[in-house]
Amino acid sequence: MGNPRGFLTVKRKTDGDRREQASRCMDCGIPFCHWACPVGNLIPEWNDLIYNRQWEKAVERLEATNNLPEITGRLCPAPCEYACVLSINDEAVTIRDDELAIVEAGFKNGWIVPRPPKKRTGKKVAVVGSGPAGLSCAAELNRLGHLVTVFEKDDRPGGLLRYGIPDKKLEKWILDRRLKIWEKEGVVFKAGIEIGQPADLLKDFDAVCWAVGAREPRDLKVPGRESEGIHFALDYLIRANRGEQKEARGKKVAVIGGGDTGADCVSVALDQGADSVVQLEILPQPPVSRDQTCPWPKFGRLYKTAHAKKLEQKWSVMTKEILKNGLRCVQVQLAGKHLKEIAGSEFEVEADLVILAMGFLRPPAPPEDKGIQVAGDARRGPSLIVWAIQEGRQAAEAIARVLSPVA
């Protein structure tokens, strides 16, 4: 490392000088950050390159493992930082911020440009789904010279990156910037087309990657579920991303679910002008720092303080019934692997709008076929964006072996 003792004098600052922050990468010998990153980002290498002002080489090393660093640099929960050796007794290196600085330097300086393959194999591949798994698979196969067509059932490519994530977390010009590069490299995008089964494409394509994601929401099966004003989180977020009416304006909103999707719904509801928002989570409040449930280098849930004035968070809460003007709930506690209701703890929550953000179900797997690869949430179930990228890259490798690409 350029400055192997930088971590002794420089403190973590997410808005600090990137070269100075990169100097905190401590030449630890065994880079657990690299181990924890699903795509295997070469973190110590590009931190060293930042410190030595070799930004163009840092871009090359970053793009060698990650097809969408401008996305993960904004959205990834950074399991790499949980595994940073420095985080054993100090604050982790600002890995995600360094990653974002590298890729944005690449765009700013013209180092990230279309690079179409010099030769084409003539083999045709269909990729169904244009989320991070499908996009990564398409980019890798196109780079090898195959003719790649990406099918998306929505009106524009991007999957949940486009319609499932609020603009304040991911402005859509960032996604479009990368899509334009891939289009110029030869990837064909066909939106507004829903494919029934992957096998339907094998008569026209040599291989198929099925990367449709996991969009079926987990439902709340309680009395009153058929009432008006109950919405699935993804439906609500899609309408918000399309710029449709501000459904939460002036309303008392209840968000059931404490994960990332629930947090996005809370953020959107507050931005839309909700009168108040209550977020309910069935699990206990996670710790604010590591405890015995989250030892280093494990990646786990940590509580991030909510500062919004109109937001109230309630933990260890089960919703028992949807009422005319709200919810009937009860406090619960963990008893082994099960939840037990606490006698006498029932209470009601006022709500005009209820958003169900309790996660998603794993979709049924398509029939296995030599020419079909399944990737992303469609294969492993709902997971992180960075895992979807790795899934897409692995699917591309498997397809490439079948198609015997030109070396």
What CATH number is attached to the domain comprising 273?
3.50.50.60
220 in a structural domain: no
pLDDT of residue 301: 81
- Pick the closest to residue 351 from 259, 274, 242, 261 (CA basis): 274
Q: Residues for the chain: how many in total?
A: 407
Cis before residue 223, ω within 30 degrees of 0?
no
Would you say 110 and 55 are in contact if contact means Cβ atoms under 8 Å apart? no
Is the same domain home to 349 and 244?
Answer: yes
Q: CA-to-CA distance for 256 and 261, rounded, in angstroms?
A: 10
Is the same domain home to 256 and 207?
Answer: no
pLDDT of residue 307: 65
222 in a structural domain: no
Q: Which residue has the tokens 């309790």?
A: 358
114 in a structural domain: no
pLDDT of residue 306: 67
pLDDT of residue 368: 67
pLDDT of residue 129: 97
- Pick the closest to residue 37 from 71, 75, 7, 82 (CA basis): 82
175 in a structural domain: yes
- Tell which of 80, 108, 136 closes a domain: 108
| pTM recorded for the entire structure | 0.94
Q: What is the pLDDT along the chain (407 residues), one digit of tens a residue?
A: 667 788 899 999 999 899 999 999 988 889 999 999 999 999 999 999 999 999 999 999 999 999 999 999 999 999 999 999 999 989 999 999 999 999 999 999 999 999 999 999 999 999 999 999 999 999 999 999 999 999 999 999 999 999 999 999 999 999 999 999 999 999 999 999 999 889 999 999 999 999 999 999 999 999 999 999 999 999 999 999 998 778 999 999 999 999 999 999 999 999 999 999 999 999 999 888 888 888 899 888 888 766 678 999 999 999 999 999 999 999 999 888 889 999 999 999 999 999 999 999 988 877 667 889 999 999 999 999 999 999 999 999 999 999 974 54
1 in a structural domain: no
Tokens at 353, concatenated? 């709008």
Is the same domain home to 247 and 348?
Answer: yes
Residues 6+ apart with CB under 8 A from 193: 151, 152, 153
Amino acid at 86: L
Is the same domain home to 247 and 346?
Answer: yes
Is the same domain home to 236 and 323?
Answer: yes
221 in a structural domain: no
Is the same domain home to 396 and 291?
Answer: no
Domain with residue 15: its CATH number is: 1.10.1060.10
33 in a structural domain: yes
Host H or E run for residue 186? none
- What's the number of domains the chain is made of? 3
Is the same domain home to 280 and 236?
Answer: yes
Domain that holds residue 196: 124-215+362-403
